[in-house]
Amino acid sequence: MKKNNMITPEGTRDLLFEECLARRAVENKLTAAFRTRGYNEVMTSGLEFYDVFDPESSGISPEEMYKMSDRRGRLLVMRPDSTMPIARLVATRLQNHQLPLRLFYTQPVYRSNPGLAGRLDENAQAGIELMGASGIRADLEVLTTAVEALSACSPDFRLELGHAGFFRELARQLPITEEQREDIRSAIETKNYAALDTTLDAIPQTAAVAGMRRLPRLFGGEEVFEQAQEVCPTETAKMTLSYLHKIYHAVQDLGLGNRVIVDLGLVQRNDYYTDIIFTAYTEGYGDSILMGGRYDNLLAHFNCPMPAIGFGINVDALTRIALAHGHFSAPPAAQILVYSENGYSIKALSHARALTKQGLRCETSVAETQAEAEAYAHSIGIRRLDVVGAKITEVLL
Protein backbone atom coordinates (compact mmCIF):
# COMPACT_ATOMS: atom_id res chain seq x y z
CA MET A 1 0.00 0.00 0.00
CA LYS A 2 1.35 3.41 -0.95
CA LYS A 3 2.04 5.60 2.09
CA ASN A 4 4.17 8.44 0.73
CA ASN A 5 2.80 9.15 -2.72
CA MET A 6 1.01 12.33 -1.60
CA ILE A 7 3.87 14.05 0.25
CA THR A 8 7.38 15.36 -0.45
CA PRO A 9 10.43 14.03 1.42
CA GLU A 10 11.45 15.83 4.60
CA GLY A 11 13.56 18.85 3.85
CA THR A 12 12.00 19.51 0.44
CA ARG A 13 9.04 21.53 -0.77
CA ASP A 14 7.03 22.37 -3.87
CA LEU A 15 6.81 25.90 -5.25
CA LEU A 16 3.64 27.47 -6.64
CA PHE A 17 2.87 30.44 -8.87
CA GLU A 18 4.20 33.57 -7.14
CA GLU A 19 6.92 31.50 -5.45
CA CYS A 20 8.17 30.47 -8.87
CA LEU A 21 8.03 34.07 -10.08
CA ALA A 22 10.05 35.22 -7.07
CA ARG A 23 12.63 32.43 -7.46
CA ARG A 24 13.18 33.21 -11.15
CA ALA A 25 13.39 36.95 -10.46
CA VAL A 26 16.05 36.41 -7.79
CA GLU A 27 18.02 34.09 -10.06
CA ASN A 28 17.82 36.59 -12.92
CA LYS A 29 19.08 39.46 -10.73
CA LEU A 30 21.98 37.40 -9.44
CA THR A 31 22.83 36.12 -12.91
CA ALA A 32 22.84 39.67 -14.27
CA ALA A 33 25.18 40.81 -11.48
CA PHE A 34 27.57 37.95 -12.22
CA ARG A 35 27.54 38.39 -15.99
CA THR A 36 28.23 42.12 -15.83
CA ARG A 37 31.37 41.29 -13.84
CA GLY A 38 32.61 38.99 -16.61
CA TYR A 39 31.65 35.65 -15.05
CA ASN A 40 30.50 32.79 -17.30
CA GLU A 41 27.95 30.19 -16.33
CA VAL A 42 28.73 26.52 -15.79
CA MET A 43 26.48 23.67 -14.73
CA THR A 44 27.71 20.52 -13.03
CA SER A 45 26.10 17.12 -12.72
CA GLY A 46 23.54 16.64 -9.99
CA LEU A 47 25.15 13.25 -9.30
CA GLU A 48 28.83 13.08 -8.40
CA PHE A 49 31.16 10.38 -7.17
CA TYR A 50 31.63 10.42 -3.41
CA ASP A 51 35.39 10.84 -3.97
CA VAL A 52 34.79 14.40 -5.22
CA PHE A 53 33.62 15.34 -1.73
CA ASP A 54 36.34 13.66 0.32
CA PRO A 55 35.48 14.97 3.83
CA GLU A 56 39.12 15.85 4.56
CA SER A 57 39.18 18.38 1.72
CA SER A 58 35.52 19.37 1.44
CA GLY A 59 34.70 19.86 5.12
CA ILE A 60 31.38 18.08 4.49
CA SER A 61 30.68 15.15 6.79
CA PRO A 62 29.46 11.87 5.21
CA GLU A 63 26.28 12.10 7.30
CA GLU A 64 25.29 15.26 5.47
CA MET A 65 25.40 13.66 2.02
CA TYR A 66 22.64 11.82 0.16
CA LYS A 67 24.34 8.66 -1.05
CA MET A 68 23.55 5.89 -3.53
CA SER A 69 25.45 3.50 -5.80
CA ASP A 70 25.61 3.09 -9.56
CA ARG A 71 25.32 -0.16 -11.54
CA ARG A 72 28.97 -0.94 -10.87
CA GLY A 73 28.63 -0.47 -7.13
CA ARG A 74 30.49 2.83 -7.02
CA LEU A 75 29.38 5.28 -4.35
CA LEU A 76 27.57 8.39 -5.64
CA VAL A 77 26.19 11.45 -3.90
CA MET A 78 23.65 14.08 -4.80
CA ARG A 79 25.63 17.31 -5.16
CA PRO A 80 26.00 18.74 -1.59
CA ASP A 81 28.15 21.68 -2.69
CA SER A 82 28.93 23.47 -5.96
CA THR A 83 32.55 24.51 -5.42
CA MET A 84 34.01 20.99 -5.35
CA PRO A 85 32.38 19.92 -8.66
CA ILE A 86 33.50 23.16 -10.28
CA ALA A 87 37.04 22.47 -9.06
CA ARG A 88 36.77 19.02 -10.68
CA LEU A 89 35.47 20.64 -13.87
CA VAL A 90 38.35 23.12 -13.97
CA ALA A 91 40.93 20.37 -13.39
CA THR A 92 39.54 18.20 -16.21
CA ARG A 93 38.01 20.39 -18.90
CA LEU A 94 39.48 23.85 -18.31
CA GLN A 95 43.02 23.05 -17.24
CA ASN A 96 44.49 24.73 -20.35
CA HIS A 97 42.15 27.71 -20.27
CA GLN A 98 43.50 31.22 -19.81
CA LEU A 99 43.62 32.21 -16.15
CA PRO A 100 42.00 33.59 -14.18
CA LEU A 101 38.72 31.71 -14.63
CA ARG A 102 35.56 33.59 -13.74
CA LEU A 103 32.72 31.10 -13.33
CA PHE A 104 29.22 31.29 -11.88
CA TYR A 105 26.46 28.79 -11.23
CA THR A 106 22.78 28.61 -10.33
CA GLN A 107 21.81 25.09 -9.27
CA PRO A 108 20.43 23.11 -6.31
CA VAL A 109 22.53 21.45 -3.63
CA TYR A 110 21.43 18.64 -1.33
CA ARG A 111 22.37 18.28 2.34
CA SER A 112 20.78 16.22 5.09
CA ASN A 113 20.02 18.49 8.07
CA PRO A 114 18.14 16.26 10.54
CA GLY A 115 19.05 18.29 13.62
CA LEU A 116 18.43 21.73 12.17
CA ALA A 117 14.73 22.53 12.20
CA GLY A 118 13.65 24.88 9.44
CA ARG A 119 16.57 24.16 7.12
CA LEU A 120 15.79 22.55 3.81
CA ASP A 121 17.76 19.59 2.48
CA GLU A 122 17.28 20.82 -1.10
CA ASN A 123 18.45 24.39 -1.61
CA ALA A 124 18.75 26.55 -4.69
CA GLN A 125 22.16 28.17 -4.65
CA ALA A 126 23.94 30.71 -6.83
CA GLY A 127 27.52 31.86 -6.64
CA ILE A 128 30.83 32.62 -8.29
CA GLU A 129 34.31 31.13 -8.31
CA LEU A 130 37.38 33.19 -9.26
CA MET A 131 40.11 30.62 -9.90
CA GLY A 132 43.74 31.27 -10.71
CA ALA A 133 43.98 34.67 -8.99
CA SER A 134 45.34 35.67 -5.60
CA GLY A 135 46.00 38.87 -3.72
CA ILE A 136 43.95 41.79 -2.51
CA ARG A 137 42.67 42.76 -5.97
CA ALA A 138 41.06 39.35 -6.46
CA ASP A 139 39.65 39.33 -2.92
CA LEU A 140 38.10 42.77 -3.38
CA GLU A 141 36.66 41.84 -6.77
CA VAL A 142 34.80 38.91 -5.26
CA LEU A 143 33.65 40.91 -2.23
CA THR A 144 32.43 43.70 -4.50
CA THR A 145 30.52 41.22 -6.64
CA ALA A 146 28.93 39.75 -3.51
CA VAL A 147 27.82 43.21 -2.37
CA GLU A 148 26.38 44.07 -5.79
CA ALA A 149 24.55 40.75 -6.08
CA LEU A 150 22.98 41.04 -2.62
CA SER A 151 22.12 44.71 -3.14
CA ALA A 152 20.11 43.76 -6.23
CA CYS A 153 17.96 41.34 -4.21
CA SER A 154 18.00 42.38 -0.55
CA PRO A 155 19.63 45.77 0.12
CA ASP A 156 19.22 45.48 3.90
CA PHE A 157 22.05 43.07 4.72
CA ARG A 158 25.02 42.90 7.07
CA LEU A 159 28.42 41.66 5.91
CA GLU A 160 30.76 39.92 8.34
CA LEU A 161 34.47 39.56 7.61
CA GLY A 162 36.95 37.13 9.14
CA HIS A 163 40.16 35.31 8.36
CA ALA A 164 40.68 31.57 8.62
CA GLY A 165 44.39 32.06 9.17
CA PHE A 166 43.92 33.78 12.53
CA PHE A 167 42.29 30.78 14.19
CA ARG A 168 44.69 28.41 12.46
CA GLU A 169 47.72 30.28 13.78
CA LEU A 170 46.37 30.35 17.33
CA ALA A 171 45.53 26.63 17.15
CA ARG A 172 49.06 25.88 15.91
CA GLN A 173 50.40 27.20 19.21
CA LEU A 174 48.30 24.80 21.28
CA PRO A 175 49.29 21.24 22.31
CA ILE A 176 46.02 19.72 21.10
CA THR A 177 44.80 16.81 18.99
CA GLU A 178 42.84 17.16 15.78
CA GLU A 179 39.71 16.17 17.70
CA GLN A 180 40.29 18.87 20.31
CA ARG A 181 40.98 21.38 17.57
CA GLU A 182 37.62 20.56 15.97
CA ASP A 183 35.86 20.85 19.35
CA ILE A 184 37.40 24.30 19.83
CA ARG A 185 36.50 25.36 16.30
CA SER A 186 32.91 24.22 16.73
CA ALA A 187 32.55 25.97 20.10
CA ILE A 188 33.88 29.24 18.65
CA GLU A 189 31.66 28.99 15.57
CA THR A 190 28.52 28.56 17.70
CA LYS A 191 29.80 30.96 20.40
CA ASN A 192 29.37 28.19 22.97
CA TYR A 193 31.52 29.74 25.68
CA ALA A 194 30.94 26.96 28.21
CA ALA A 195 32.07 24.23 25.81
CA LEU A 196 35.06 26.34 24.75
CA ASP A 197 36.16 26.87 28.36
CA THR A 198 35.79 23.17 29.13
CA THR A 199 38.16 22.23 26.32
CA LEU A 200 40.68 25.00 26.98
CA ASP A 201 40.74 24.41 30.74
CA ALA A 202 42.34 21.02 30.07
CA ILE A 203 45.29 22.64 28.24
CA PRO A 204 48.31 24.35 29.86
CA GLN A 205 47.38 28.02 30.13
CA THR A 206 49.41 30.13 27.70
CA ALA A 207 48.97 33.38 25.79
CA ALA A 208 47.61 31.39 22.83
CA VAL A 209 44.98 29.75 25.05
CA ALA A 210 43.97 33.16 26.40
CA GLY A 211 43.68 34.41 22.83
CA MET A 212 41.53 31.46 21.83
CA ARG A 213 39.18 32.17 24.74
CA ARG A 214 38.69 35.72 23.48
CA LEU A 215 38.26 34.80 19.84
CA PRO A 216 34.42 34.42 19.79
CA ARG A 217 34.13 37.79 21.52
CA LEU A 218 36.25 39.63 18.97
CA PHE A 219 33.55 41.03 16.74
CA GLY A 220 32.44 44.54 15.95
CA GLY A 221 34.09 47.48 14.19
CA GLU A 222 37.47 49.20 14.19
CA GLU A 223 38.00 48.43 17.89
CA VAL A 224 38.32 44.71 17.13
CA PHE A 225 41.70 45.18 15.49
CA GLU A 226 43.13 46.94 18.55
CA GLN A 227 41.76 44.22 20.84
CA ALA A 228 43.04 41.45 18.59
CA GLN A 229 46.58 42.86 18.66
CA GLU A 230 46.70 41.86 22.31
CA VAL A 231 46.21 38.17 21.44
CA CYS A 232 48.51 37.89 18.41
CA PRO A 233 51.08 35.28 19.48
CA THR A 234 53.19 35.34 16.28
CA GLU A 235 54.23 37.55 13.39
CA THR A 236 52.05 35.40 11.12
CA ALA A 237 48.99 36.23 13.21
CA LYS A 238 49.88 39.93 13.08
CA MET A 239 50.25 39.83 9.30
CA THR A 240 46.90 38.08 9.01
CA LEU A 241 45.25 40.73 11.14
CA SER A 242 46.88 43.52 9.13
CA TYR A 243 45.61 42.09 5.85
CA LEU A 244 42.08 41.77 7.22
CA HIS A 245 42.30 45.39 8.37
CA LYS A 246 43.05 46.48 4.78
CA ILE A 247 40.10 44.46 3.47
CA TYR A 248 37.82 45.95 6.15
CA HIS A 249 38.65 49.54 5.15
CA ALA A 250 38.38 48.77 1.45
CA VAL A 251 34.92 47.24 1.85
CA GLN A 252 33.82 50.21 3.95
CA ASP A 253 34.81 52.41 1.02
CA LEU A 254 32.09 50.65 -0.98
CA GLY A 255 29.62 52.68 1.07
CA LEU A 256 28.49 49.94 3.46
CA GLY A 257 29.47 51.94 6.55
CA ASN A 258 28.31 50.30 9.78
CA ARG A 259 26.88 47.31 7.89
CA VAL A 260 30.39 45.78 7.79
CA ILE A 261 31.36 43.80 10.88
CA VAL A 262 34.64 42.10 11.71
CA ASP A 263 34.22 38.70 13.36
CA LEU A 264 37.40 36.83 14.23
CA GLY A 265 35.20 34.05 15.55
CA LEU A 266 34.09 33.34 11.99
CA VAL A 267 35.82 29.97 11.69
CA GLN A 268 33.45 27.83 9.62
CA ARG A 269 35.15 24.95 7.81
CA ASN A 270 38.63 26.34 8.35
CA ASP A 271 40.26 23.33 6.72
CA TYR A 272 38.38 24.34 3.56
CA TYR A 273 39.07 28.06 3.71
CA THR A 274 42.64 29.29 3.88
CA ASP A 275 42.50 33.07 4.21
CA ILE A 276 39.72 35.69 4.11
CA ILE A 277 36.22 34.41 4.86
CA PHE A 278 32.94 36.30 4.83
CA THR A 279 29.26 35.80 5.37
CA ALA A 280 26.11 37.93 5.12
CA TYR A 281 22.84 38.13 7.05
CA THR A 282 19.62 40.04 6.60
CA GLU A 283 16.61 40.79 8.77
CA GLY A 284 13.81 38.30 8.52
CA TYR A 285 16.05 35.29 8.05
CA GLY A 286 17.85 33.62 10.94
CA ASP A 287 20.68 31.98 9.02
CA SER A 288 23.35 33.34 6.69
CA ILE A 289 22.24 34.17 3.15
CA LEU A 290 25.78 34.19 1.75
CA MET A 291 29.00 32.44 2.65
CA GLY A 292 32.36 32.60 0.94
CA GLY A 293 36.10 32.88 1.24
CA ARG A 294 39.49 32.00 -0.17
CA TYR A 295 40.37 28.32 -0.57
CA ASP A 296 43.83 28.21 -2.12
CA ASN A 297 44.51 24.54 -1.31
CA LEU A 298 41.36 23.02 -2.74
CA LEU A 299 42.32 22.53 -6.38
CA ALA A 300 45.50 20.69 -5.39
CA HIS A 301 43.20 17.80 -4.41
CA PHE A 302 42.30 17.58 -8.11
CA ASN A 303 45.95 17.75 -9.23
CA CYS A 304 45.43 21.29 -10.49
CA PRO A 305 46.87 23.61 -7.81
CA MET A 306 45.91 27.25 -8.09
CA PRO A 307 44.56 29.99 -5.81
CA ALA A 308 40.81 30.50 -5.72
CA ILE A 309 38.09 32.47 -3.98
CA GLY A 310 34.31 32.44 -4.26
CA PHE A 311 30.96 32.56 -2.51
CA GLY A 312 27.55 30.93 -2.55
CA ILE A 313 24.18 32.64 -2.04
CA ASN A 314 21.07 30.95 -0.66
CA VAL A 315 18.55 31.66 -3.43
CA ASP A 316 15.68 30.10 -1.48
CA ALA A 317 16.32 32.48 1.41
CA LEU A 318 16.26 35.52 -0.87
CA THR A 319 13.07 34.18 -2.46
CA ARG A 320 11.34 33.90 0.91
CA ILE A 321 12.46 37.40 1.85
CA ALA A 322 11.08 38.83 -1.41
CA LEU A 323 7.75 37.08 -0.85
CA ALA A 324 7.56 38.22 2.79
CA HIS A 325 8.07 41.83 1.67
CA GLY A 326 5.17 41.50 -0.76
CA HIS A 327 7.29 42.03 -3.84
CA PHE A 328 5.45 39.26 -5.68
CA SER A 329 1.82 38.22 -5.85
CA ALA A 330 -0.07 35.52 -7.73
CA PRO A 331 0.31 35.84 -11.51
CA PRO A 332 -2.55 37.85 -13.10
CA ALA A 333 -5.12 36.15 -15.25
CA ALA A 334 -4.83 36.21 -19.02
CA GLN A 335 -6.22 39.32 -20.65
CA ILE A 336 -8.15 37.49 -23.35
CA LEU A 337 -9.83 34.08 -23.67
CA VAL A 338 -10.24 32.85 -27.26
CA TYR A 339 -13.21 30.54 -27.88
CA SER A 340 -13.75 28.78 -31.22
CA GLU A 341 -17.08 27.81 -32.62
CA ASN A 342 -17.33 24.34 -34.16
CA GLY A 343 -15.09 24.02 -37.22
CA TYR A 344 -12.99 27.11 -36.45
CA SER A 345 -10.33 25.68 -34.08
CA ILE A 346 -7.38 26.39 -36.37
CA LYS A 347 -8.60 29.93 -37.03
CA ALA A 348 -8.93 30.45 -33.25
CA LEU A 349 -5.38 29.21 -32.61
CA SER A 350 -4.05 31.54 -35.31
CA HIS A 351 -5.97 34.43 -33.75
CA ALA A 352 -4.53 33.63 -30.32
CA ARG A 353 -1.02 33.49 -31.76
CA ALA A 354 -1.50 36.91 -33.36
CA LEU A 355 -2.63 38.34 -30.02
CA THR A 356 0.39 36.97 -28.16
CA LYS A 357 2.69 38.46 -30.79
CA GLN A 358 1.19 41.82 -29.83
CA GLY A 359 2.36 41.18 -26.24
CA LEU A 360 -1.08 40.26 -24.89
CA ARG A 361 -1.59 37.40 -22.43
CA CYS A 362 -3.98 35.02 -24.08
CA GLU A 363 -5.60 31.64 -23.37
CA THR A 364 -7.47 29.42 -25.81
CA SER A 365 -10.66 27.92 -24.44
CA VAL A 366 -11.24 24.16 -24.33
CA ALA A 367 -14.92 24.59 -23.42
CA GLU A 368 -17.63 22.96 -25.54
CA THR A 369 -19.98 25.94 -25.44
CA GLN A 370 -19.65 29.71 -25.32
CA ALA A 371 -21.58 29.79 -22.04
CA GLU A 372 -19.02 27.45 -20.46
CA ALA A 373 -16.19 29.62 -21.79
CA GLU A 374 -17.78 32.75 -20.31
CA ALA A 375 -18.26 31.04 -16.92
CA TYR A 376 -14.61 29.97 -16.87
CA ALA A 377 -13.43 33.48 -17.79
CA HIS A 378 -15.53 34.98 -14.98
CA SER A 379 -14.16 32.48 -12.43
CA ILE A 380 -10.49 33.40 -12.97
CA GLY A 381 -10.86 37.09 -13.80
CA ILE A 382 -10.47 37.21 -17.60
CA ARG A 383 -12.32 40.30 -18.81
CA ARG A 384 -12.51 39.71 -22.56
CA LEU A 385 -13.71 36.77 -24.64
CA ASP A 386 -12.96 36.57 -28.38
CA VAL A 387 -15.43 34.28 -30.12
CA VAL A 388 -13.95 32.96 -33.39
CA GLY A 389 -16.33 31.74 -36.06
CA ALA A 390 -17.04 33.01 -39.56
CA LYS A 391 -16.12 36.34 -38.00
CA ILE A 392 -14.39 37.29 -34.75
CA THR A 393 -16.53 38.87 -32.04
CA GLU A 394 -15.12 40.53 -28.93
CA VAL A 395 -17.26 40.07 -25.77
CA LEU A 396 -16.40 42.17 -22.72
CA LEU A 397 -17.16 40.33 -19.48
Measure the CA–CA gap between 378 and 393, rounded to whole angstroms.
18
User: How big is the chain, counted in residues?
Assistant: 397
Query: Residue 344 annotated as binding?
Result: no
Task: Please name every residue paired with 161 in a beta bridge, in sequence order, or none if there are none.
Answer: 262, 278
Query: Residue 110 annotated as binding?
Result: no
Q: Please, what sign has the CA dihedral across residues 164, 167, 171, 172?
A: positive
Structure letter (DSSP) for residue 266: -
Query: Residue 222 annotated as binding?
Result: no
Q: How far apart are the first and last CA of the chain?
A: 48
Judged by DSSP in three states, 336 sits in strand
Which amino acid would we find at residue 378? H
Query: Residue 82 annotated as binding?
Result: yes
Query: Residue 129 annotated as binding?
Result: yes
Query: Residue 145 annotated as binding?
Result: no
Query: Residue 125 annotated as binding?
Result: yes
Measure the CA–CA gap between 106 and 155, rounded to whole angstroms.
20
User: Which residue, among 261, 262, 29, 258, has the nearest Cα to 150 in the 3D structure?
Assistant: 29
Q: Which H helix or E strand runs over 48?
A: strand 47-49
- DSSP secondary structure, 159-173, as one string: EEEEEHHHHHHHHHT
At residue 130, φ and ψ (nearest 5 deg) are -105, 105
In the β-sheet with 260-263, what is the strand arrangement from edge to edge? Answer: 40-41, 101-110, 122-131, 308-314, 290-294, 276-282, 157-163, 260-263, 219-220
Measure the CA–CA gap between 143 and 256, rounded to whole angstroms.
12
Before 100, cis peptide (omega within 30)? yes
User: Which residue, among 8, 7, 3, 56, has the nearest Cα to 270 in the 3D structure?
Assistant: 56
Query: Residue 272 annotated as binding?
Result: yes
Residues making up the annotated binding site are 81-83, 111, 125, 129, 272-273
Binding-site residues for L-histidine sit at: 81-83, 111, 125, 129, 272-273
